[in-house]
A and B are shown apart, each in its own frame.
Chain A
Amino acid sequence: MIIKTLASGASGMRAHQLRLDTIGNNIANINTTSYKKSTPNFGEIVRQALGEEGVAVVTEPRPESGAGVRLISMARVIDQGDLINTGLDLDLAIAGQGFFKVTSPFEDDEQEYYTRDGSLSIVNIDGETVLVNPSGYKLVWDGELDPETYQSYTVDEKGTVWGKRFSDGQREDVGNIELFTFPAPSNLASKGSNLYLATEASGEETSGVPGEDSFGAIRSGYLERSNVDLASEMIGMIEAQRAYAANSRTVQTADEMWDRANNLRK
Chain B
Amino acid sequence: MLRGLYITMNSLNVQQAKLNNVSNNLANQSTTGYKRNAMVDSQFSEALQLALENKGPGARRQAIGEGNLGNLIAQVHIDYRPGPLTETGNATDLALEGKGFFVVENEAGEQLYTRDGSFEINAEGTLVNNEGYPVLGEGGPITLEDTENLTIKGDGTILVGWGEETEEIDRLQIVEFADPSLLRKADGNYFEDPEGTAESAMVTKVNQGWLEKSNVDPIQEMINIIPVSRIYESSQKLVQISDELLDKAINQVGRVK
Interface residues of A (CB under 8 A from B): 1-2, 4-5, 8-9, 11-12, 15-16, 19, 40-47, 50, 53-58, 63-69, 72-73, 75, 77, 79, 96-97, 182-184, 186-187, 200-204, 214, 239-240, 242-243, 246-247, 249-251, 253-254, 256-257, 260-261, 263-266
Contact of B232 among A58, A77, A97, A257 (CB under 8 A): A257
Chain B residue numbers with a CB within 8 Å of A254 are 19, 23
Contact of B221 among A55, A73, A75, A246 (CB under 8 A): A246
**Whole-angstrom CA separation of A40 from B90 in the bound complex:** 14
**Whole-angstrom CA separation of A114 from B231 in the bound complex:** 60
The reply to whether A65 and B39 contact each other, CB–CB distance below 8 Å, is yes
The reply to whether A239 and B31 contact each other, CB–CB distance below 8 Å, is no
The reply to whether B76 and A63 contact each other, CB–CB distance below 8 Å, is yes
The reply to whether B121 and A247 contact each other, CB–CB distance below 8 Å, is no
Least CB distance from B136 to A in Å reads 19
**Whole-angstrom CA separation of A246 from B27 in the bound complex:** 8
Chain A residue numbers with a CB within 8 Å of B22 are 250
Once A2-B16, A75-B130, A183-B123 are accepted as A-B contacts, the answer to whether A50 and B225 lie under 8 Å apart by CB is: no
Once A201-B123, A253-B19 are accepted as A-B contacts, the answer to whether A243 and B29 lie under 8 Å apart by CB is: yes
Looking at chain A's contact residues, is the secondary structure mostly helix, strand, loop, or mixed? mixed
Contact of A257 among B27, B71, B90, B229 (CB under 8 A): B229
* Size of the chain B interface, CB-CB below 8 angstroms: 66
Once A63-B39, A242-B218 are accepted as A-B contacts, the answer to whether A43 and B13 lie under 8 Å apart by CB is: no
* Nearest chain A residue, comparing its CB with the CB of B12: A261
The reply to whether B185 and A66 contact each other, CB–CB distance below 8 Å, is yes
**Whole-angstrom CA separation of A161 from B73 in the bound complex:** 73
Once A55-B14, A239-B30 are accepted as A-B contacts, the answer to whether A202 and B123 lie under 8 Å apart by CB is: yes
Least CB distance from B22 to A in Å reads 6
The reply to whether B21 and A184 contact each other, CB–CB distance below 8 Å, is no
**Whole-angstrom CA separation of A16 from B30 in the bound complex:** 8
Chain B residue numbers with a CB within 8 Å of A55 are 13-14, 16-17, 72-73
Chain A residue numbers with a CB within 8 Å of B12 are 261
Chain B residue numbers with a CB within 8 Å of A41 are 32, 116, 118, 130
| Residue B169, interface by CB 8 Å | no
Contact of B24 among A8, A16, A251 (CB under 8 A): A8
**Whole-angstrom CA separation of A148 from B207 in the bound complex:** 58
Which of B57-65, B103-111, B172-180, B235-243 forms part of the interface with chain A?
B235-243
The reply to whether B225 and A253 contact each other, CB–CB distance below 8 Å, is yes
The reply to whether A77 and B90 contact each other, CB–CB distance below 8 Å, is yes
**Whole-angstrom CA separation of A45 from B146 in the bound complex:** 35
The 3 closest A-B pairs by CB, nearest first: A12-B27, A203-B123, A56-B72
* Nearest chain B residue, comparing its CB with the CB of A64: B76
Chain B residue numbers with a CB within 8 Å of A239 are 29-30
Cβ < 8 Å to A, chain B residues 208-229:
218, 221-222, 225, 228-229
Contact of A214 among B90, B122, B147 (CB under 8 A): B147
Q: What is the 8 Å Cβ interface bit string for chain B, positions 115-145, against chain A (1 contact, 0 not)?
A: 0101011111100001100000000000000
Q: 28 A-B pairs, CB-CB below 8 angstroms? A: A5-B23, A8-B24, A12-B27, A12-B29, A41-B116, A42-B28, A43-B131, A43-B188, A44-B28, A44-B185, A44-B189, A57-B74, A63-B74, A64-B76, A64-B184, A73-B130, A75-B130, A183-B125, A183-B147, A187-B120, A203-B124, A214-B147, A239-B30, A249-B222, A250-B19, A257-B15, A260-B233, A266-B243
Least CB distance from A70 to B in Å reads 8
| Residue B200, interface by CB 8 Å | no
Chain A residue numbers with a CB within 8 Å of B233 are 260
The reply to whether B20 and A5 contact each other, CB–CB distance below 8 Å, is yes
Once A8-B20, A263-B236, A264-B240 are accepted as A-B contacts, the answer to whether A47 and B185 lie under 8 Å apart by CB is: yes
The reply to whether A56 and B10 contact each other, CB–CB distance below 8 Å, is yes
In the complex, given contacts A8-B24, A58-B72, A183-B124, what are 9 additional A-B residue pairs having Cβ atoms less than 8 angstroms apart? A12-B27, A44-B24, A44-B34, A55-B17, A63-B73, A79-B90, A184-B121, A243-B26, A247-B26
Contact of B71 among A56, A77, A251 (CB under 8 A): A56
**Whole-angstrom CA separation of A246 from B25 in the bound complex:** 10
